[in-house]
Amino acid sequence: MSKIAIIEIQAGKFNPNAKTIISNCYIATLDVVRVDYETGECSRANFTVNPMQNEAKMATARKLPRTPFESIAWDVKEYLEGCDFMGFSIRRLDLPLLAEEFARSGIDNFPHESVSVIDIQSIYHQMEPRNFAAAVKFYLNRQYLAPQRNTGDVELVRQIFERQREMYRMADLDQLHEISAFGKDIADFANLTYWQDNGRKLFWNFGKNKDQPVTAEDPFTIWFLRNDFPAQSRRIVADYTNIQIF
């Protein structure tokens, strides 16, 4: 591994009925930094594209050139040829979407599955873990010993919490509740649904329907109620949709 393409993609959505995130997205911009770690050579390229289902009003609103990806696919391929890949959370969207766009353009198996992939987020999470031991070290400046688990942990949690309130100057418990829920009005303890419009509208918080409204007519709702999800979560959805499952 010597030549690496560092990629970052800004994606748009064009297929609300798609079954997967990748099939629902297109590349709007592709930013690439190409580095040869043997020679030290470094170059940068930016590609701006529009979806295949291009509409004039979309191009005007976004101020993007009306260029579908397939019209530049071979230029992008030539620029990336022979490179391994690097990015932040690159396996979640960027690399799968890039391969999907090439396939849509008639270029199969590029990038090839044999390329090496460096995910900066994965390295960060493994080298700087965000777990209970890391929290004890960061907030209390002490080592966490595994045998303490289930014996003194509850006291450590209290100490960490008090240190957080001190560091971040947060005395309002309701504010801390909102932060813990990432600003959402979470409906169930399993974090699978959340409320909007002051508790009048229920939305999904996971899966392919994330951030979509919960409706009785949606097959996803029936599938959810019939499968082995937490009883509280299913009850909230059942009560909201008036579907009898219990």
DSSP-derived secondary structure for 163-198: HHHHHHT---HHHHHHHHTTTSEE-STTS-EEEETT
Structure confidence at residue 182 (pLDDT): 74
Structure confidence at residue 63 (pLDDT): 46
Q: For residue 208, what are its two tokens?
A: 């392919």
H or E element in which residue 100 lies: helix 94-104
The whole-angstrom separation of Cα 14 and Cα 24 is 6
pLDDT tens-digit map of 236-246: 999 999 998 75
pLDDT tens-digit map of 136-184: 999 999 988 865 555 678 889 999 999 998 998 877 777 777 777 777 8
Q: Residue 93: which residues within 8 A CB-CB, separation 6 or more?
A: 9, 11, 21, 22, 25
Q: Average pLDDT, stretch 51-63? A: 46
Identify the band that residue 47 occupies on the pLDDT scale cut at 50, 70 and 90. Answer: very high
pLDDT tens-digit map of 100-118: 888 888 888 899 888 999 9
Structure confidence at residue 16 (pLDDT): 53
Give the CATH class of 3-124. Answer: alpha beta
The whole-angstrom separation of Cα 99 and Cα 95 is 6
Residue 234 has pLDDT above 50, yes or no: yes
The whole-angstrom separation of Cα 210 and Cα 187 is 14
Q: What is the dihedral of CA 205, 207, 210, 216, to 10 degrees?
A: -90
Instruction: Report which of 123, 85, 109, 93 is spatially closest to residue 24, judged by C-alpha positions.
Output: 93
Residue 84 has pLDDT above 90, yes or no: yes
Residue 64 has pLDDT above 60, yes or no: no
Residue 90 has pLDDT above 50, yes or no: yes
Q: Average pLDDT, stretch 50-69? A: 50
The whole-angstrom separation of Cα 67 and Cα 105 is 13
The whole-angstrom separation of Cα 183 and Cα 51 is 32
SS (H, E, C) 23-89: HHEEEEEEEEEEEECCCCCEEEEEEECECCCCCHHHHHHHCCCCCEHHHCHHHHHHHHCCCEEEECC
Q: Average pLDDT, stretch 231-236? A: 90
Residue 95 has pLDDT above 80, yes or no: yes
Write down the mean pLDDT value for the chain. 84
Rounded to two decimals, what is the model's pTM?
A: 0.64
Q: Average pLDDT, stretch 78-104? A: 92
Residue 58 has pLDDT above 60, yes or no: no
Structure confidence at residue 160 (pLDDT): 92
Structure confidence at residue 5 (pLDDT): 97
Residue type, 184: K
In the chain, ranges of CATH 3.30.420.10 domains: 3-124
SS (H, E, C) 210-240: CCCECCCCCHHHHHHHHCCCCHHHHHHHHHH
Q: Residue 16: which residues within 8 A CB-CB, separation 6 or more?
A: 24
Residue 60 has pLDDT above 50, yes or no: no
